[in-house]
Amino acid sequence: MTSMLPALLRYPWVLLCLLLLAWPAGTTAARELAVDPDTMVEVEVATVGTAGLTGVPVVLLREPGAREVIPIFIGVTEANAILRALAGERPPRPLTHELLGDVLEGVEAVLSRVYVDALTDSTFLGMLELTLSGRDEPVRIDSRPSDAIALALTAGASIHVAPEVLEAARQIEYQGFDDQVVVALGITVTPLDDDLREALGLPDRTGVLVSDVSGEAAEAGLAPGDLLLEVNGETPESPLNFLELVRDTSEGEPARLRVWQQGEIFEVELSTEVPTPVPRRRAPELEA
């Protein structure tokens, strides 16, 4: 085992999973949650942006009911992992977060929740909540929020943030990118250029391309390849603008969408609550 230790230290997530297998029942993590999990707010991961003029990556979380988008600081590697997961991209060989998700599945450990529960000395703190086969109580593991969120997208775990963290994060100025994947209401949208419009046979109208759907959006009939024309009567000029229009939905009201689908236009209303999370595997291919 001593000779294996240097190799394992190069792959800390694998070492974590090996430790889980030997974790004694009833053992608790080194750090307890800072707040009661029942007081935390479930959020939806929308996309990745940057903080102010510094260019530090942030993950943008949509908080339902508060008409807010909340930025949380993350690392560059985790930002790329989150964007890959949102786009349904998976490399031919698993990278760190994909690998950990595969290992957890292989040892029958289910990642049910992740938490961003505290902000200490300008550092966000997170935690994984795992359900292990044969154990009544979940196991909670201290984690960086960026790692936890990236893994949650891969595994389909829900993401919960402490109210105090949400309040502090609202003070962070951020900017997004117009040319990337954005998710809201369980709808994944991407920019639309002329080549893609022609390949998919889409009309010459302003909007954003639907590349994936889940939950209520899928049940309402939305599908990959649709053109999203309006949100609450406004035209989304970009994926980030789509997120802003969803955010600005009046409190307590559903978001009203107008959609082009295979030559027909229909309207649908969707709840702005956080959809049931699903594993972010490879997105379905759009047929030209």
Q: Give the pLDDT confidence of 98-121 residue by residue, as tens digits.
A: 667 667 766 778 889 999 999 998
pLDDT, tens digit, for every residue of 53-88?
A: 778 999 999 988 767 889 999 988 888 888 888 887
**Could you please report the per-residue DSSP string of the chain?**
-GGGHHHHHTSHHHHHHHHHHTPPTT---SS--SS-GGGSEEEEEEEEEEETTTTEEEEEEEETTTTEEEEEE--HHHHHHHHHHHTT---SS--HHHHHHHHHHHTTEEEEEEEEEEEETTEEEEEEEEEETT-SS-EEEEE-HHHHHHHHHHHT-EEEE-HHHHHHHTT--EE--TTS-EEETTEEEE---HHHHHHHT--S---EEEEEE-HHHHHTT--TT-EEEEETTB---SHHHHHHHHHTSPTT-PEEEEEEETTEEEEEEE--SPPPP----PPPPPP-
Q: Is pLDDT above 70 for 8?
A: no
pLDDT band at 92 (very low <50, low <70, confident <90, very high): low
Average pLDDT over all residues of the chain: 83
What average pLDDT does range 235-254 have in this prediction? 92
Question: How many residues are present in the chain?
Answer: 288
CB 229 within 8 A of CB 195: no
pLDDT of residue 66: 66
Task: Give 97's pLDDT tier (boundaries 50, 70, 90).
Answer: low
> pTM of the predicted model, to two decimals?
0.80
Complete domains list, the chain, with CATH: 2-175 (3.10.690.10), 182-270 (2.30.42.60)
